[in-house]
Structure 1
Amino acid sequence: MLNFNGQLMNSAYCMLKLSTLNIVAMERHERIARAIALSGKKKGQIATECGVANSAVTQWVSGESKSLRPENLYALAAATGFNAEWLGIGKGPETPLADQQPLPSEEDYALIPQYTAKGASGDGYLNDHVEVKGGLAFKRDWLQRMALREENLRAMYNNGDSNWPTLSDGEVLLVDVSKREPTNGNMYAMYDPDSAVIIKRLIRDVTGGWLIRSDNQDKSRYPDQPVSDDGMSGVEIIGRVVWRGGGI
């Protein structure tokens, strides 16, 4: 969120910190009272679910009961949906899933291997050693709309600024290794004559042949490289760049 009012944001931050500190500093009976109140259940219902008398729950909330059996604590946690450790000693998140993010479902998401390889937007980048660093999750319905197959996709990094502002240095790229035939106007990962990886756009020259072009408009630094049709047949294309945080 943009900070249009620093004073307001600072005040809100202080209030948030104060609220957090108050929750942490609560006594056990106050935490129990909070959990029961936020559960939306009446004390009688809590008592039934915990297998105790109504008076026992009243004593938990008032603080009259100085001890709480472990079985009652876990029953109370199950009845309210709160974390037993937080209820008992004030540690950990209030609720069991409060500090966890839901994992992507394999049914909905495809995990694309992410390589340490870099492609240069500038002089070629020689990757002496390449390994899989993990994976990026993409929604399967997005891949379907983009006519992409997960088994053909690889994630790698952009290096340099010859394609700025289209690509930024260090940006993650998605490359379709099944698309290795040159097509006009698209961006590709390729090997240069020294076997270094470059990221360039291929432009069909009206006079014949191709132009290997950088998107950066400073052509004194990043001039077009003309290649004949015969020469293009000797250029090894790794795949077409299809994503860089958005479609290309």
Structure 2
Amino acid sequence: MGLGNEVLDADYVVGDLALSSHWINQHIRPSNIRELKFIHAHGESMAPTFSSGDVLLVDVGSRDPSSMEGVYVLEVRGQLYIKRVRIRMDGAMEVSSDNINIKTVDVLNGDHQLNVLGRVVWAWNGKKL
């Protein structure tokens, strides 16, 4: 979110958060439960969808925004971003922030080299994405 954060070279465990497989299968329905990861939101570019400090559940097996629009974790030039990705009527992919006060919109036309790391499927503010 925001201006992006540096991509870390490994996963870092900062605590435990246990989810039952029943809850995951009822609310998330991932194709592979082992491909779920947590990340903390940082910045306000995606407010009111979620805010800085919210814990986000990311399905790293879901990396194709053209098959499912949503909020994705993106890597661009060594920086991590959490942005909404949607398909425009002309077929181009659009990357944007949700916060209307700092709204950013980029159209992916092949000039951007980015890596889609996964789709945000739940935010610990009570909102399913």
Give the TM-score range, shorter chain: 0.7 to 0.9
Q: TM-score, normalised by structure 1?
A: 0.46
- Please tell me the residue identity of whatever aligns with 2:82: I
Residue number in structure 2 paired with 1:48: none
Structure 1 runs of 4+ aligned residues shifted over 6 Å read none
| Counterpart contact for 1:122–1:222, Cα < 8 Å | no
Q: State the number of aligned residues.
A: 123
The answer to whether residue 71 in structure 2 is matched with residue 191 in structure 1 is: no
Q: Distance in 2 between matches of 1:237 and 1:165?
A: 22
Residue number in structure 2 paired with 1:147: 29
SS of structure 2 residue aligned to 1:198: strand
Residue number in structure 2 paired with 1:244: 123
Q: Distance in 1 between matches of 2:78 and 2:45?
A: 18
Q: Which has the higher strand share?
A: 2
Q: TM-score, normalised by structure 2?
A: 0.85
- Please tell me the residue identity of whatever aligns with 2:78: S
| Counterpart contact for 2:7–2:78, Cα < 8 Å | no
Determine which structure has greater relative contact order: mean sequence separation of CA pairs < 8 Å that are 6+ residues apart, divided by chain length.
2
The answer to whether residue 12 in structure 2 is matched with residue 131 in structure 1 is: yes
CA shift digits 1:73-118 (9 cap, x unpaired):
xxxxxxxxxxxxxxxxxxxxxxxxxxxxxxxxxxxxxxxxxxxxxx
Q: Distance in 1 between matches of 2:111 and 2:91?
A: 12
Q: Distance in 2 between matches of 1:125 and 1:191?
A: 9
Q: CA deviation at 1:217?
A: 1.3
Quickly say closer, same or farther: Cα 1:147–1:237, change in 2 above 3 A: same
The answer to whether residue 56 in structure 2 is matched with residue 177 in structure 1 is: no
RMSD: 1.8
Residue number in structure 1 paired with 2:50: 167
Q: Which has the higher helix share?
A: 1
Pick the structure with greater CA Rg: 1
Structure 1: which 5+ residue stretches go unaligned?
1-120
